[in-house]
Amino acid sequence: MVYDPYLGLRISDSVCFAIYIGCLAFETYIIKKYLIPLRIKSPYILMFYCMLTVMLVSMIIMLAERLFGNDPGFIVSKHQKKTVGEVCVHIQATAYILLGFIISATEFQLAVSLALILNIIDVKEANARKTTFNICVSIISVVTCIGAYLETTIDDLANASHLVFEAIGLIVLCLIYFSTSVELLRKLRIFVLEETLKEARLVQL
């Protein structure tokens, strides 16, 4: 029996390939079962599923190329040309970051809406905060996409693999996600306390 050093890698790739196909099928089911019949038009929900589809499809293509086309997904020699797997790696990394930005924007919208309900801010200030946050996140997203594109070009010229812009984008995403999560939790805590005080007053009455 000949020992295959890449057997474990192929098994793990096959398992991931099946999982991603299952996730894509489940996402398609959700879209057909709920999004289309309910006519959901929220831009955040639509962008979320759009980025999720891009990420899953790029992962499936990359794994298919690795399993059936012997494409490693990154540069392994100075004479190697840019491959489909390498492009998919950059696409899925960028889509993953953009997906995080969309989730952060959604959390910020919820935090602002709670502040509006609690009369901490007025409608004008709430709309201004939402617009400002959306513009900032959009600029960061565009810069991340341009950086990822330039990175693939640099990789092709230098015959090397880099994920520098994706790493920077991931750090920025972590900072934004942490700040928006803290803000949302703070507003939720205030909301729960307000509701608890209202219930206590009703009980006293």
Which residues are CB-neighbours of 34 under 8 A, at least 6 positions away?
40
Residue of 150 and 72 predicted with greater confidence: 150
pLDDT at residue number 191: 78
Q: Please check the confidence at residue 7 and state whether its pLDDT lies above 90.
A: no
pLDDT at residue number 78: 62
pLDDT at residue number 64: 87
- pLDDT band at residue 10 under the 50/70/90 scheme: confident
> To which residue do tokens 């997906």 refer?
99
Question: Would you give the end-to-end CA distance of the chain in angstroms?
Answer: 82
In whole angstroms, give the CA distance from residue 151 to residue 149: 5
Residue of 1 and 21 predicted with greater confidence: 21
pLDDT digits 0-9 by tens, 12-38: 878 888 999 999 999 999 989 888 888
Q: Tell which phi-psi region holds residue 51, choosing left (phi > 0), alpha (psi between -120 and 50) or beta.
A: alpha
pLDDT digits 0-9 by tens, 49-93: 999 999 899 989 888 888 887 777 666 666 667 777 888 888 888
Domain boundaries, given as residue ranges, for the chain:
7-204
Task: Please give the average per-residue pLDDT across 114-139, as a whole number.
Answer: 86
